[in-house]
Structure 1
Amino acid sequence: MRRGFLLFTFAASALLFPAMAQAANCTVSATGISFGTYIPSTPGPTDNTGSVTVTCSAVFQVVNYTIALNAGVNSSGSFGNRRMGSGGSFLSYQIYTSAARSTVWGDGTGGTATVSDSYGCFFCVNQSRSYVDYGRLPGLQWSAAPGFHTDTITATVTFN
């Protein structure tokens, strides 16, 4: 039996604000997507979700940010080739921005989309917003060897 699990790492960047404005203090966290035990003879896809959470504290400002996901460490840089690996064996999968699983969550290139948000803070302390990432592992992937298959996706949050 094959098991799939997706790990997230984080990178965040912030733009400098004018001297009058106080920059928001933000953190980013995520939960990976676990596809559980994969059975290659299942013709339909296996779907599951994870999340990316942005938590900010700010005073008298609008908090704006964009969340981008990279293609993963096993993809050779291609969003069309996201895959989880185990000892040279791979299972293809994808991450989407919605439950319809029609738009690939990426960095905005190659037909992928990012997720953006904006909200005003009068006095926000640890204001959290979570964004679901919708994973899909296609069925009938016979070539993957049994084992624990993983990939690491980096979420980059750009504050503007």
Structure 2
Amino acid sequence: MTYVRETASWRRAWARHGVIALAMMAVAATWSRDGSAATCTVSANPLSFGTYSTTSNATSTTTITITCGGWGNGSKSVSYTLSASAGSGSYANRQLLYGSHTVSYNLYTSSAYTTIWGDGTGDGTITLSGTITNQQPSVPITIYGVIRAGQNAVPGSYGTTVPITVTLTYQ
């Protein structure tokens, strides 16, 4: 095993070796109000940043998909609201963890990386919402992640879990 000291040459080596970061764990769930309502399934893939270089931002996307089927006589549509917890850290400064080491990152609602995805109550976060119908029974929602350049982190496999909440309203 090789131990690396924090030196200028280590920082150059860090840019070559990088870090694997996982920000969101897979999610799968099913909801149904009753036997006459649509049944909805939510799935999400992990968000993986791959190798991080201190000289440039690391970006990644993941898709959360809400699919409803089995439309009974009782349901015409299903409204959804999708929110995320802060996970490790805060909404303004989410953190990926590797033992006692951290790398700051965040989750956004667009590729402009300006609006933080959260619970809509603090730190300028918003939730995502929409409507699913039997004409459009599946809705893919893209989440954008970024680790900003210039962070001094040790090489390793960083990760965290961000619990998400899906609120469904049958109409």
Q: Please give the range of the TM-score, normalised by the shorter of the 2 chains.
A: 0.7 to 0.9
Letter in 1 for 2:59: D
Q: 1:67 aligns with which of 76, 82, 90?
A: 82
Match status 1:2 vs 2:19: yes
User: Following superposition of structure 1 onto structure 2, how do residues 3-152 of structure 1 map, counting pairs within 5 Å?
Assistant: 3-8=20-25, 10=27, 22-40=36-54, 42=55, 44-57=56-69, 58-59=71-72, 60-72=75-87, 74-75=88-89, 78-110=90-122, 111-121=124-134, 127-142=137-152, 144-152=153-161
TM-score by length of 2: 0.77
Structure 1 residue runs without a partner (length 5+): none
Deviations 1:92-138 (A, max 9, x none): 0010011111110101111101110113326x7xx321100000110
More strand by share: 1
State the distance in 2 between where 1:67 and 1:30 align. Answer: 12
Alpha-carbon distance, 1:47 to partner: 1.3
Q: Is the 8 A contact 1:12 1:157 kept in 2?
A: no
State the distance in 2 between where 1:121 and 1:81 align. Answer: 39
User: Looking at both structures, which has the greater relative contact order when contacts are Cα pairs under 8 Å and sequence separation is at least 6?
Assistant: 1
Q: Is the 8 A contact 1:48 1:136 kept in 2?
A: yes
Structure 2 residue runs without a partner (length 5+): 1-17
Q: Is the 8 A contact 1:45 1:139 kept in 2?
A: yes
Letter in 2 for 1:96: Y
State the distance in 1 between where 2:113 and 2:96 align. Answer: 19
Bigger-Rg structure (1/2): 2
TM-score by length of 1: 0.82
Letter in 1 for 2:19: R
Q: What SS is found at the alignment partner of 1:105?
A: coil
RMSD: 2.3
Q: Is the 8 A contact 1:95 1:136 kept in 2?
A: yes
